[in-house]
Structure 1
Amino acid sequence: MVDTGHKMVRAVHGGLDLAELRRLGLDPRAVLDFSSSINPLGAPPGVMNAIADVNIAAYPDSDCLELREALGGSLNLEPDRILVGNGSTELIHLLATAFLSKGDGAVIFGPAFGEYLAACAAQGVEPVELVANEADDFRWDVAEACQSIRELRPGMVFLCNPNNPTGLYLDEDKVRRIAAAASASGVLVLDEAYVSFVDGAWDSRPLLDIPNVVLLRSMTKDYALTGLRLGYMLSSPEVIAGVKARQYSWSVNAAAQAAGVMCLGRQDHLEQGREAVRIGKAYLVDALVSMGLKCRVGAANFLLASVGDATTIRLRLLKEHGICVRDCASFGLPGYIRIGVRKMDDCRRLVAALDKALSDG
Structure 2
Amino acid sequence: MDPGIVAKVVHGGKVPRQKNNTATHYIDFSANFNPFPPRVAWSPDLALLADYPDDEYLELREAYARLVGRAPEEICVGNGSAEIIRTFCHTVIREGMPVRIDPPTFGEYALSARLAGGTVAAGSGGAGVRFLCNPNNPTGYLTPRSNIVEMLAAAEKADRVLFVDEAFIELADPRQSVADIASPHLFVMRSLTKEFAVPGIRFGFGIGDPALVSRMEIMRPPWSVNSFAESFALAAARKYRDLGESRHRIENEREWICSRLLGAGIAYEPSATNFIMLYPGQPAAPLTAALRTMGILVRDCTSFGKPEAIRVAVRTREENRLLLEALFACVR
- Which TM-score band (shorter chain)? over 0.9
Residue aligning to 2:78: 85
1:301-359 per-position Cα deviation (integer Å, ceiling 9, x unaligned): 1111101211111111112x211111111111111111111111111111111111223
Within the candidate set 174, 177, 183, 2:150 is matched to 177
The alpha-carbon distance between structure 1 residues 94 and 46, as it changes in their structure 2 partners (threshold 3 A), is same
1:60-87 per-position Cα deviation (integer Å, ceiling 9, x unaligned): 2222222211111222211110011111
1:128 and 1:182 map into 2 onto residues whose CA distance is 16
Question: Bigger CA drift: 56-65 or 240-249?
Answer: 56-65
Paired residue secondary structure (1:181): helix
The alpha-carbon distance between structure 1 residues 54 and 160, as it changes in their structure 2 partners (threshold 3 A), is farther
Give, in angstroms, the shift of residue 124 of structure 1. Answer: 2.6
1:334 and 1:81 map into 2 onto residues whose CA distance is 40
The alpha-carbon distance between structure 1 residues 123 and 298, as it changes in their structure 2 partners (threshold 3 A), is same
Question: Please, what is the CA RMSD of the aligned residues?
Answer: 1.9
Residue aligning to 1:296: 269
Residue aligning to 1:329: 302
The alpha-carbon distance between structure 1 residues 301 and 251, as it changes in their structure 2 partners (threshold 3 A), is same
Task: Answer yes or no: is the 8 Å Cα contact 1:88–1:230 preserved in 2.
Answer: yes
Paired residue secondary structure (1:244): helix
1:110-147 per-position Cα deviation (integer Å, ceiling 9, x unaligned): 211000110011123221123xxxxxxxxxxxxxxxxx
Matches within 5 A, 1:1-361: 6-8=3-5, 9-16=7-14, 18-19=16-17, 21-23=19-21, 25-27=22-24, 30-42=25-37, 44-47=39-42, 49=43, 51-52=44-45, 55-130=48-123, 148-149=124-125, 152=126, 154-183=127-156, 184-199=158-173, 201-208=175-182, 210-307=183-280, 308-319=282-293, 321-359=294-332
TM-score by length of 2: 0.93
Give, in angstroms, the shift of residue 5 of structure 1. Answer: 6.2
1:45 and 1:162 map into 2 onto residues whose CA distance is 25
Name structure 1 gaps, 5 residues minimum.
131-147
1:293 and 1:5 map into 2 onto residues whose CA distance is 39
The alpha-carbon distance between structure 1 residues 52 and 200, as it changes in their structure 2 partners (threshold 3 A), is closer
Paired residue secondary structure (2:310): strand
1:5-62 per-position Cα deviation (integer Å, ceiling 9, x unaligned): 6433411111116445544x245xx211111111102462423x2x236521221222
* 1:7 partner amino acid: G
1:74 and 1:200 map into 2 onto residues whose CA distance is 12
Determine what percentage of the aligned residue pairs are the same residue: 30
1:201 and 1:336 map into 2 onto residues whose CA distance is 29
- Count of aligned residue pairs for this structure pair: 329
Name structure 2 gaps, 5 residues minimum.
none
2:284 and 2:108 map into 1 onto residues whose CA distance is 21
Give, in angstroms, the shift of residue 213 of structure 1. Answer: 0.5
Task: Answer yes or no: is the 8 Å Cα contact 2:98–2:129 preserved in 1.
Answer: yes
Paired residue secondary structure (1:84): strand
Question: Bigger CA drift: 232-241 or 181-190?
Answer: 181-190
Paired residue secondary structure (2:232): helix
Residue aligning to 1:140: none
Task: Answer yes or no: is the 8 Å Cα contact 1:83–1:233 preserved in 2.
Answer: yes
2:169 and 2:204 map into 1 onto residues whose CA distance is 13
2:238 and 2:116 map into 1 onto residues whose CA distance is 38
Task: Answer yes or no: is the 8 Å Cα contact 2:2–2:115 preserved in 1.
Answer: no
1:278-309 per-position Cα deviation (integer Å, ceiling 9, x unaligned): 12101111111212100112212111110121
1:45 and 1:178 map into 2 onto residues whose CA distance is 36
1:99 and 1:60 map into 2 onto residues whose CA distance is 26
1:275 and 1:39 map into 2 onto residues whose CA distance is 12
1:314 and 1:201 map into 2 onto residues whose CA distance is 35
2:320 and 2:200 map into 1 onto residues whose CA distance is 22
1:327 and 1:87 map into 2 onto residues whose CA distance is 23
1:356 and 1:190 map into 2 onto residues whose CA distance is 39
Paired residue secondary structure (2:50): coil
Task: Answer yes or no: is the 8 Å Cα contact 1:219–1:230 preserved in 2.
Answer: yes
